[in-house]
Structure 1
Amino acid sequence: MKINWGTSIVLAFTAFISFILYFVIRMSTDNSANHDLVTEEYYKQELAYQNEIDAVESALKMNASLKLVKSEKGITVLFPEQFNPEHINGTVSLYRPSNKHLDFNFPISLSNAHLLIPDNSLLDGRWDITIKWNYKDKIFLHKEKLLY
C-alpha cells in the first residue's frame, strides 16, 4: 500500500495532537505535581503592590534600612538606631518558595534595636523575608532573599 503526501500530513498532525493530549491529561491528573499559585490571595496582593513600592521608597528616603545578620542562634534583624524601639511595630513574614507549609508570620515587639528569628524555626535553604514595620504612622518595608 502506497501512502501519498496528504495522508502523511494527516497522520503527522494526528500523532502530534495525540502526543500533546497525552501530556496534558497526564499532568492534570498527576497528584505529585504541584499546581498551586505562589500565594493564596495572589490577585489581592497584586492590587496592593503600589503600597509596597511606597513603603520601600519611604524607607530609602528616611535612611531606615534594616540589616540581617546570620548567627548560630538564628537571624538577627537590626533596626536603625535613630528610631526608638518602643515605637516600632509590624510583622515579619518568612516565605519558603519550595514548601508553603513552612511559611510563617510573627509580630514585631522590640525592647532594643534588634529582633532575633530563632534558628529552630528555619530549615536550610532559601527564604524570602518580608519585614513590614511602622514607626510613628510611617510604614516601611524591607524584602530580602536569604540562603540559610
Structure 2
Amino acid sequence: MDWGKGILLTIIAFVTLIMTLVVISVRMDGIELVTENYYEEEIKYQNRIDQSNSAIELNREVISYDAPSKMIALDLPFGTVGSLQLFRPSDSSLDQLIKVDVTHSGKTEVALKDLKSGYWKIQLNWFENGVSHYQEKKITI
C-alpha cells in the first residue's frame, strides 16, 4: 500500500468516527438543564450566597443524613418555616418539594425511603428569627 491510500483510509476512518459520535449524541435522551429557569436562578444567586453565609453563622449542622435508616434530621428551632427540596440532577421528574413547619422542639425527621437510589441534593430554605437561611447537602441513597 502506498502513502496516498493510507492517508485516504485514515481520513475516511476519522470522518466515520466523527459521524458516528454525532449520531450517538443527537439520539441521546434525558439531557436536561439543571433547572427549568436557569437564567432567572442565576440572577438570584447572590441572594443564595447571602442566605448560605447566614446559615454558616449559626455554627450548627442543620441537615444531617442517616444512611442506614434513610432519614434526614433537621435541627431547626420551634416555629421555623421553610421548604426542603429533594433535587435529583439526573432526572427532574423525581424532584420533590416538602414544606417545613416546625411545631415541636427537637429535631424534625424526614423519611426518604420512597426515593429512588442514587445521587440527590437536599436543599433547605428556612426563616429563623426573621432571617432567611439556606443550606445544601449532597447525599447518595
1:100 aligned residue:
92
- Among the aligned pairs, what percent are the same residue? 27
Residues 25 and 135 (structure 1), Cα distance of their counterparts in 2 relative to 1, 3 Å cut: same
Residues 44-63 of structure 1: pairs in structure 2 closer than 5 A: 44-63=40-59
1:18 aligned residue:
16
Look up the SS of the partner of 1:121 in the other structure.
coil
Q: Select the structure of larger CA radius of gyration.
A: 1
Residues 105 and 11 (structure 1), Cα distance of their counterparts in 2 relative to 1, 3 Å cut: same
Which structure ranks higher in relative contact order (CA pairs < 8 Å, sequence separation ≥ 6)?
2
Instruction: Tell me which of 121, 124, 137 is aligned to 1:144.
Output: 137
Normalising to structure 2: TM-score of the pair? 0.79
Unaligned segments of structure 2, at least 5 residues: none
Q: Quick one: which amino acid aligns to residue 68 of structure 1?
A: S
Deviation at 1:18, TM superposition (A): 2.2
What's the CA shift string for 1:73-113, capped at 9, x where partnerless?
8322122xxx4x22x21110011234322210011111124
What is the distance in 2 between the residues matched to 1:145 and 1:94? Answer: 10
Residues 61-140 of structure 1: pairs in structure 2 closer than 5 A: 61-63=57-59, 65-70=61-66, 72=69, 74-79=71-76, 83=77, 85-86=78-79, 88-113=80-105, 114-140=107-133
CA RMSD of aligned residues (A): 2.5
Unaligned segments of structure 1, at least 5 residues: none
Q: How many residues align?
A: 139
Normalising to structure 1: TM-score of the pair? 0.76
